[in-house]
Amino acid sequence: MKPLDKDIILSQFTQRFGGPAAWVVRAPGRVNLIGEHTDYNDGFVLPLAIDRAVWIALRRRPDHRVAVYSVDYRQDGAFDLDRLENEKSGWLEYVKGTAWSLEESGLRLAGWEGVLQGDVPLGAGLSSSAALEMAAARAFTAAAELPWDPKPMALLGQKAENRWVGVNCGIMDQLISAAGKADHALLIDCRSLETEAVPFPPGTAVAVLDTSTRRGLVDSAYNERRAQCEAAARFFQVKALRDVTRQRFDREADGLDDVTRRRARHVIGENDRTVEAADAMRRGDAALLGQLMNQSHESLRDDYEVSNDALNVMVECARRHPGCFGARMTGAGFGGCAVALIDAQAAADFVQRTADAYEKQTGLHSAVYVCRATNGAEVV
Ligand code: ADP
Ligand code: MG
């Protein structure tokens, strides 16, 4: 698929509404390099905003109506800002939920009409939903001529997803979609929400490897993992596992049952690895970053037990390529995507050979995207 750009979305707008659009906004999907299942433990994550995004072209309306055409669903949707009703499903709820959340925070919004189109694959673990929320938030702030501040907007997007759409996600997806920086990953402290942009080691690229398997039991397994982490935090008498050092864990963890101990060991080790990975990036050390990603996968597979066969095979196939520094599953697990750090010069060969090897070994289809780190939500 040809990547979306400003011209494409502008011509969609003109076809639909006749006249020109006043603004074009985009908000990217994301992939997490390292720091998995750490967000709800008040820990660290290291995602990048990718060059696949949700785009909206829009112009203001004189009334309080929001009218959106979804190019991907070939569907019109509309609602009134003064009478927001939750219809419980469908793409429009992400836009409406964002309006609800912004209005709840005291912002006064204006009506607009626009077209919506994206090239973040849906449900693949690249967070098309957060991209849509942040694109909607950027569109609402543009139309109402409100200032754009990525952090509070990310929190409002998360609130829309938690409370309007009803998905219990952390802050990572919206924050990286709102605040990403080109050619950098973002180290996020999920407790303080402090962020630091860290550059990619020179000559490296990021590949996202979709296993084409999809999470089935992910919600119940996710809730179970969260409960286990909370139990471990109670055992250590801390607010969250973020507050337990590796040294303390090694001294005291014998008092935990086997499963809870392994869950805690993943989270505590993963936090350290994530901080170390950011440091490796600052020093341009691709080899160390790759090793840390490999260790993260082993920990998610063996201690946290959220990988699946397809992800394990994909990771093995990726690592077999000489241009691969490291690879791991990314996202909540039980299917979806792996992520690899690769030598940019070898990217085309890596894509071909890894996809071939995976398909041969599993009989499953795969999709591999080489990504560039882009800016977060913006008017373009
Ligand atoms: P993901 O892992 O991609 O975030 P979700 O199930 O959380 O998966 O979100 C996917 C939903 O977001 C879609 O079902 C759709 O309602 C909405 N969505 C994402 N991208 C678009 C788009 N380009 N156009 C319309 N709706 C979209
Ligand atoms: Mg989502």
- Say if domain 6-198 classifies as CATH 3.30.420.40: no
pLDDT tens digits, 313-341: 999 999 999 999 999 999 989 999 999 99
Q: Is 177 in the pocket of ligand 1 (CB under 6 A)?
A: no
d(CA 271, CA 37): 9
pLDDT tens digits, 349-376: 999 999 999 999 999 999 999 999 999 9
pLDDT-derived band at 217, boundaries 50, 70, 90: low
Question: Where in the sequence numbering do the catalytic residues fall?
Answer: 173
Q: Among the bound ligands, name the one nearest to the CA of residue 158.
A: 2
CATH of domain 204-371: 3.30.70.890
Phi, psi (degrees; rounded to nearest 5) at 191:
-90, -55
Collapsing DSSP to helix, strand or coil, 143 comes out as helix
- Could you tell me if 118 and 4 are in contact, meaning their C-beta atoms sit under 8 angstroms apart? yes
Q: How would you classify residue 145: left for phi > 0, otherwise alpha for psi between -120 and 50, otherwise beta?
A: left
Q: Among the bound ligands, name the one nearest to the CA of residue 214.
A: 1
Ligand 1, pocket-test mutation among 72, 75, 128, 132, most atoms within 8 A of CB: 128
The ranges assigned to domains in the chain are: 6-198, 204-371
- Taking CA atoms only, the protein residue closest to ligand 1 atom 26 is 91
d(CA 70, CA 27): 15
- Ligand 1 centroid to Cα of residue 162, in Å, is 15
- The whole-chain average pLDDT of the chain stands at 96
Q: Is 122 in the pocket of ligand 1 (CB under 6 A)?
A: yes
pLDDT tens digits, 16-38: 999 999 999 999 999 999 999 99
Q: Is 70 in the pocket of ligand 1 (CB under 6 A)?
A: yes
CA distances in angstroms from 284 to 202, 206, 292, 319, 343, listed in the order given:
7, 15, 14, 20, 13
d(CA 75, CA 311): 34
Q: Is 29 in the pocket of ligand 1 (CB under 6 A)?
A: no
pLDDT-derived band at 1, boundaries 50, 70, 90: low
Q: Is 129 in the pocket of ligand 1 (CB under 6 A)?
A: yes
d(CA 275, CA 343): 22
Ligand 1, pocket-test mutation among 69, 129, 334, most atoms within 8 A of CB: 129
Beta-strand relationship, 112-118 and 65-70:
parallel
Q: Is 322 in the pocket of ligand 1 (CB under 6 A)?
A: no
- Ligand 2 centroid to Cα of residue 353, in Å, is 29
- Taking CA atoms only, the protein residue closest to ligand 1 atom 25 is 91
